[in-house]
Amino acid sequence: MQRLVLRRKEFSLFQAFIYKNIGISLGDHKIYLVQARLAKRVKQLGLESFGEYYDFLVADRKGGELEYLSSLISTNVTSFFREHKQWEFLKSHLASILERSGGRLRIWSAACSSGEEPYSIAMFLAEHLPNMTQYDIKILATDVSPKVLKIAMSGMYSQKACMSLSDEYLRKYFSPVLVENEAYYQISDMLKKQIIFREFNLVTGDYDLFAQKAFDIIFCRNVMIYFDRPTQNKLVDRFHAILAKEGHLFIGSSEALTDMKKEFKSKSASIYQKA
Ligand X SMILES: C[S@@+](CC[C@H](N)C(=O)[O-])C[C@H]1O[C@@H](n2cnc3c(N)ncnc32)[C@H](O)[C@@H]1O
Residues 74-113 that bind ligand X (CB under 6 A): 74-78, 82, 111, 113
Phi-psi region of 50 (alpha: psi -120 to 50; beta: other; left: phi over 0): alpha
Minimum distance of ligand X from residue 66's CB (angstroms): 10
Q: Does the protein bind ligand X through residue 224 (CB under 6 A)?
A: no
143 assigned to active site = yes
Which residue type does 55 have?
D
The answer to whether residue 228 is catalytic is no
- Half-sphere exposure of residue 68, counting CA atoms within 13 Å on the CB side? 14
183 is a site residue for ligand X (CB under 6 A): no
Of 58-66, 97-105, 219-227, 232-240: span binding ligand X (CB under 6 A): 219-227
What DSSP designation does 69 have? H
Contact status: 151 vs ligand X (CB under 6 A): no
Does 231 interact with ligand X (rule: CB under 6 A)?
no
Active-site position among 3, 8, 28, 37: 37
Could you say whether residue 159 binds ligand X (CB under 6 A)? no
**How far is the C-alpha of 151 from the C-alpha of 143, rounded, in Å?**
12
Classify 53 as helix, strand or coil: helix
User: Which of the residues 82, 106, 143, 221 is marked catalytic?
Assistant: 143
Separation CA 216–CA 103 (nearest Å): 11
Binding residues for ligand X restricted to 15-44, rule: CB under 6 A = 22-23
Contact with ligand X (CB under 6 A) among 15, 35, 86, 145: 145
Q: DSSP 3-state assignment of 79?
A: coil
Position among 26, 34, 121, 148 found at the interface with ligand X (CB under 6 A)? 148
DSSP 148-184: HHHHHHHTEEETTTTTTS-HHHHHHHEEEEEETTEEE
Segment holding 141, helix H or strand E: strand 136-143
The strand pairing partners of 150, in sequence order, are: none
Maximum C-alpha span of the chain: 63
Instruction: Compare residues 113 and 194 and give the one whose CB is closer to ligand X.
Output: 113
Asked if 66 interacts with ligand X (CB under 6 A), we say no
User: Contacts with ligand X in 109-138 (CB under 6 A)?
Assistant: 111, 113, 117
Contact residues toward ligand X (CB under 6 A) are 22-23, 70-71, 74-78, 82, 111, 113, 117, 143-145, 148, 201-203, 221-223, 252
* Residues designated as active site: 37, 143
